[in-house]
A = this chain, B = another copy of it.
Amino acid sequence: MTLDNICKEIKESKSIIILAHKDPDGDAIGSSLAMYLALKQINLNVDIVMPVYPRIYGFLPGATEIKKEGNSNNYDLAIALDCGDRGRLGDCIEYFDKANKTISIDHHGTNKMFADYNYVNPDSCATAQSLFVVLNFMGINITKEIAECLYAGILTDTGGFKYSSVTEETFEIAKELFSKGINIADISKKMLDTITKPQLLLTKIAIGRLEVLEDGKIAFTYITKNESEEVNAENGDYEGIVNYGRNLEGVEVSVFLRETDDGFKVSLRSNSYVDVSDVALIFGGGGHKKASGCLINTPLEDAKTALVKEIKRYL
């Protein structure tokens, strides 16, 4: 059985590298850190490697031990977390390919089963939920620190228990993690409810000029490069702005444009029936059915006209 093999491989490995997908989110980082802390607990020789990760996750236990690169290219075992396919490993693919054995722990239904051993549960709301099962199987003591990391993963991938991926098991695991003494208010606040000053200023600008088009079905807004510079915005400061449009009553598709040196970075969100990954694809982008993005290098009005024209076809 897969879990037996995974358990055996991990425990017999002399050196282990833990990897997540590029542009890691809270589930990728939380799961990777939980695995790292678990393997440290049983005295294994383990590295966790992520070239970059958003600073808001820096509070998670073990985050200070994340390395930008591995010690060598010859790890005994590579464990990929939250990666649906090899490509998601980005530059870290090298460590994965050169390891003697590989394990993948994930929850994406589209997972390519690319490792030697794959524990992929598409019914898990997050990789953290799959990992919780693995760690218990391994007999790991779920410490408060490990619980925090797993909870962070679940929070991110369920938007705070809000998505349809949540199951009874999710609440059961949340309860167990809670019982380890974690401060869920603090984690939730840091992960989901922190607004930076630039973010507040950008929000004010973006909702101040938010328009609804096509009988209220499309919400449109934007931020210029000058505005971003004026408020000293970092990448994370644009987080959530597109959701104001999406959450507005009657809106099906929300469009948020953010001017960058390369043109307008476009975020698209839909509520129910429009597949915005189709729209993004037309402009050379991609993503999911309800969340996608692309880059358009034209003047603002042209970008808006082109986007609205395409979205209209799906309304």
A contact set with B: CB distance below 8 Å = 159-164, 166-168, 171-172, 174-175, 178-179, 183-185, 188-189, 192-197, 200, 203-204, 207-208, 210, 243-244, 246-249, 271
**Of A166, A185, A194, A207, most B-chain CB atoms within 10 Å:** A185
A179 touches B168 (CB 8 A): yes
Closest B residue to A169 using CB positions: B175
B160 touches A244 (CB 8 A): no
A247 CA / B200 CA spacing, docked (Å): 10
B160 touches A196 (CB 8 A): no
A195 touches B161 (CB 8 A): no
Oligomer: number of copies: 2
The verdict on A248 contacting B197 (CB below 8 Å), with A175-B172, A189-B271, A203-B207 known, is: yes
A197 CA / B250 CA spacing, docked (Å): 9
7 A–B pairs (Cβ distance < 8 Å), ordered by A: A162-B184, A162-B193, A163-B185, A166-B185, A172-B175, A200-B207, A200-B210
A249 interface neighbour in B161, B179, B183, B194, Cβ under 8 Å: B194
A204 interface neighbour in B175, B189, B200, B207, Cβ under 8 Å: B207
Residues of B within 8 A of A193 (CB): 159, 162, 243, 246-247
Residues of B within 8 A of A207 (CB): 200, 203-204, 207
A204 touches B195 (CB 8 A): no
**Of A160, A203, A271, most B-chain CB atoms within 10 Å:** A160
A175 touches B185 (CB 8 A): no
B162 touches A168 (CB 8 A): no
Min C-beta distance of A183 to chain B, whole Å: 8
Closest B residue to A162 using CB positions: B188
A161 touches B160 (CB 8 A): yes
Residues of B within 8 A of A183 (CB): 164
Residues of B within 8 A of A167 (CB): 178
A160 interface neighbour in B162, B175, B210, B246, Cβ under 8 Å: B162
Residues of B within 8 A of A168 (CB): 175, 178-179
